Amino acid sequence: MQTLPRFVSRALATSATRLSLLVLAGLLGCSSSSAGNTANTDGGTGTSLTEFFCPGAPVASCGNRVSVCGVCVAAPTQDIIRTSGWREYSAPAGAPDPDLSCFDPTSPALAPLDTAGSKLVNMRGYVKIFANGPDSNFAKIEVFKEGPNGALGDKVGETSSDGTLTHFADDPATMITLKEEQITVQGQVDKVIRKLYPFEIKGTIPTETPLIVRTSSQTATAGWMPLYDYNIVARNASLTTGGAFNNDVRALGNDDYASILKAAYNRPPVGGQSAVAGEVHDCGDVRIEYATVGISPNAGLGLFYLSDVEDNPLPSSGLRSTAGMGLYAAGALTPGSFTVAALGQLKGKTVSLGTYTVQTFADSVTAVSFRGLRPWQVPAK
């Protein structure tokens, strides 16, 4: 789902028998390959960047794939591009090139989290729906701090989209209305209207703190699959004029989860297992096409990419990289810790698009969308 660069890729010689490629002096560093894969070598050293972005990361034995901070990822074969025409995360007019500026160590986007200036604020927004799900009422929204290695930390807030909210606290003069989307539902000819419901958590969400948002069912019949969404932070500088964190959340219907996994693996999901899914965006939060993704440990039934049908994205066995919406997923996982990594090709050079470590949980989906290098991933000096 998002875009790219201005920096130059470098190669890093790690020993006489192994050449690790640091791709891009503007990337989540530490991409590497075996000595047999030197297509991106330009004779640079890149040692300091590797240590800066990915200190101590192993170089995995990946065969003809690329080791990105210890995760094996298929080498991309086509230049990545920003995409547009979506309801969200589209490339703005006049900005066609992918944005990788946040991989530059001097980028303002990498300014350390202001933990000393963290404050408790409201979090508000709308519950958006993945794929063919129904109206987004009766979704339960819980917010947690993100712990080490993606662990679920302390709960800091909870609410639901029960339809009773009339005003956001930071904008009391404006009456809230339900948002509407026209969507195409599988098996129906005419488009239908789907309503998106608002939510608000008052005064308990810490800024300058990595967060995890879990959506699930408020009631036994609501039909929402537990979804853990990572890579979220409320920066003090990005709050609304009323001091709130505006952040729409995503919900996933039980039926959509089951149909996607069945389409991918030709079998229904098994109870007790988990899944990882998300999108590839650039530093400007725009969806990226032609990116490749890997997961470590490489478990389950394999990673797959989804089509770019916005209202009903489905697995496509013919895809070897992200389609226009940047979607990837891996199912049938044993709950635990996983690291995902993304790669792209830009002007013939392999570039990293980020890595992230998450936890997965039984009978749920963990969502992580790449948005480049994040401030809390930069090692302290």
Specify the pTM.
Answer: 0.86
Looking at 1.10.1740, 2.60.40, 3.40.50, 1.10.1220, the CATH number of the domain 113-253 comes to 2.60.40
Give CA separation, 143 vs 80, 152, 156, 170, 236, in Å.
33, 10, 6, 19, 18
pLDDT at residue number 104: 87
pLDDT at 56: 66
Alpha-carbon radius of gyration of the chain = 20
Q: What is the pLDDT of residue 60?
A: 67
pLDDT at res. 69: 85
pLDDT tens, position by position, 309-318: 898 899 999 9
Q: Please give the Cα distance from 144 to 366 (Å, whole number).
A: 14
pLDDT on residue 381: 64
Task: Spell out, as residue ranges, where the chain has pLDDT lower than 70.
Answer: 1-53, 55-56, 58-60, 186-189, 381
What is residue 140's predicted lDDT score, i.e. its pLDDT?
A: 98
pLDDT at 25: 31
d(CA 147, CA 218): 25
What are the start-end ranges of the E strands in 227-300? Answer: 227-232, 245-246, 249-253, 274-279, 288-289, 292-296
